[in-house]
Amino acid sequence: MTPAIEISGVTKRYGSLTALDNVSLSVSRGEMFGLIGPDGAGKSSLYRILATLLSPDSGYARIDGLDSVADYRRLRSIIGYMPEKFSLYPDLTVSENLEFFASLFGVSVDDNFDLIESVFSQLRQFPDRKAGALSGGMKQKLALSCALIHRPRILLLDEPTTGVDAVSRSEFWDILSTLRDKGITIVVSTSYMDEATRCQRIAMIDNGRILDVDTPRRLISRLDENLFNASSSDMFSLLNHLRSMPEVIDCYTFGATLHVVGREDFNPDKAMDFLSHSGLPDVRIYPAKGDIEDLFIKLTRYEEQC
């Protein structure tokens, strides 16, 4: 069976700027796939290529076995795309927007209502409100409903929860889970760390390149080897001292403690001795469990080094 999405060697340049650099990815059917990376990493360009709105300079993207350039007409009824920017008609009401998009695809709202029911349930209370007057979370739910109304097999969501409050975000992800259970492949990008862990696999993208693709758990566990907690009653001096040590790659505050990323030659006991002798009170250094946030920090540090 062909994968839902297959991207191979895709490169896209805007003038001298390389937005995507030889990107290859594969997303299986029914998978919830996350794209994480800083702003300007190339996520939106990748989405636009998958949504048939942009042609790659080289390489190809196949969605459901169809080429994004050659078969764009057929693809448009297979994919559901929700752009980063709210893209419904603000002067049309909730139900007018939904019916409009349904009629463009030649389907009726009633026929496909079962699919959007979970998304649309709250919006049903005010079908005559104009889309522009909805709250951020409601807007995104309506946009998702409109992207789903033609029963797409693949859903492309570009930062769907940016600017949405925490409760609505959590609801939105619950809805995505139910959609995935219905067999829809979902590609979603996010800059919220808690959301990334809800994906089955995530790709870390930066500067137009894919850095790593794996399950969130495995990506994080790879961090653990050289990650340590450090604390002292004089945290600020501790931070400065650790940052000046050659065997420390990175050190940053993490909650109440510091996270230290060491090189292979970093020895926590030796470092503790050294720091105590330097006059720092109550120094403790011990192995830490990494989480997705450490991954993000690693990612942005990587960017700075480039």
Partner 1 sequence: MKLRILKALLKKEITLMQRNPLIPKIIIGMPLMVMLILPLVANLDVKDVNVAVVDNDHSSLSRRITADISASPFLTVIDVPLDHSGAIALVEKGDVDVILTVPPHFSRSLAICSGNASVDIEVNGVNATKGMLGGQYVSQSVLSTIKGWREENGVTEPTQPTGILYLYNPTLNFRNYMIPALMVVLLIIICGFLPALNLVSEKETGTIEAMNVTPVPRLLFVLSKLIPFWIVGMIVVTVGMLVGWIVYSLVPAGSIFLIYLAAILFSLVMSGLGVIIANRSASMLQSIFVMFAFIMVFQLMSGLFTPIGSMPGWARTITYAIPPRYFIEIMRAVYLKGAGFADLWFQFLTLVALAVLTLGLSALTYSKRS
Binding site for partner 1 (CB under 8 A): 48, 51-55, 72-73, 76-77, 79, 81, 83, 85-92, 96, 100-101, 103-106, 146
Q: Supply the minimum distance, in Å, between the C-beta of residue 155 and partner 1.
A: 12
Q: Supply the minimum distance, in Å, between the C-beta of residue 285 and partner 1.
A: 50
The residue (of 45 and 257) whose beta carbon lies closer to partner 1 is: 45
Closest CA to 162 of 143, 137, 128: 137
What string of DSSP letters covers 64-86? TTEETTTTHHHHTTTEEEE-SS-
Q: Supply the minimum distance, in Å, between the C-beta of residue 223 and partner 1.
A: 36
Q: Are strands 79-82 and 154-157 parallel, antiparallel or unpaired?
A: parallel
136-148 vs 113-120: helix axis angle to the nearest 10? Answer: 170
Q: How far apart are CA 258 and CA 303, in angstroms?
A: 21
Helix (H, G, I), strand (E, B) or coil at 292: helix
Whether 184 and 153 have beta carbons less than 8 Å apart is answered as yes
Q: How far apart are CA 105 and CA 76, in angstroms?
A: 9
Q: How far apart are CA 183 and CA 181, in angstroms?
A: 5
The residue (of 41 and 75) whose beta carbon lies closer to partner 1 is: 75
Whether 86 and 30 have beta carbons less than 8 Å apart is answered as no
Q: Supply the minimum distance, in Å, between the C-beta of residue 22 and partner 1.
A: 21
The residue (of 105 and 192) whose beta carbon lies closer to partner 1 is: 105
Closest CA to 87 of 158, 169, 187: 158
The residue (of 58 and 177) whose beta carbon lies closer to partner 1 is: 58
The residue (of 49 and 179) whose beta carbon lies closer to partner 1 is: 49
Q: Supply the minimum distance, in Å, between the C-beta of residue 23 and partner 1.
A: 18
The residue (of 185 and 229) whose beta carbon lies closer to partner 1 is: 185
Q: Supply the minimum distance, in Å, between the C-beta of residue 51 and partner 1.
A: 5
